[in-house]
Amino acid sequence: MTADETARLRAELRLAHQHAHTADAERAETEAQLLEARAQVLRAQAHAARTNAETAGLRLAVDDVRRLCQLVLDESARPYAREQAQDILTVIDAALAGDKPSPGDGAWHTVWLEGKWRWVTSRMTTAEREHAADAVARHSAVLAVADNDPGRGEPEDLRWWRDDA
How far apart CA 70 and CA 72 sit, in angstroms, is: 5
pLDDT-based confidence at residue 136 (cuts at 50, 70, 90): very high
Residue 125 confidence (pLDDT) above 70: yes
Range of the domain at 34: 1-70
First to last CA, the chain: 106
107 shares a domain with 43:
no
Residue 159 confidence (pLDDT) above 90: yes
Amino acid at 99: D
Q: What is the pLDDT of residue 145?
A: 79
Contact predicate 66/127, CB 8 Å: yes
Mean pLDDT, the chain, integer: 85
How far apart CA 41 and CA 47 sit, in angstroms, is: 10
61 shares a domain with 109:
no
In a domain, 92, yes or no: no
33-75 pLDDT, tens digit each: 989 888 888 888 888 888 878 878 888 888 899 899 999 999 9
Q: What is the pLDDT of residue 97?
A: 63
Contact predicate 142/111, CB 8 Å: no
Residue 163's closest CA among 131, 143, 133, 141? 133
| Domain stop point among 24, 55, 70 | 70
121 shares a domain with 60:
no
What beta strand segments (E) does 9-162 contain? none
Specify the pTM.
0.41
106 shares a domain with 53:
no
Amino acid at 118: R
Residue 112's closest CA among 120, 101, 122, 100? 120
Count of domains observed in the chain:
2
In a domain, 75, yes or no: no
Q: What is the pLDDT of residue 37?
A: 87
In whole angstroms, how far apart are CA 46 and each of 37, 38, 41, 49? 14, 12, 9, 5
In a domain, 145, yes or no: yes
In a domain, 80, yes or no: no
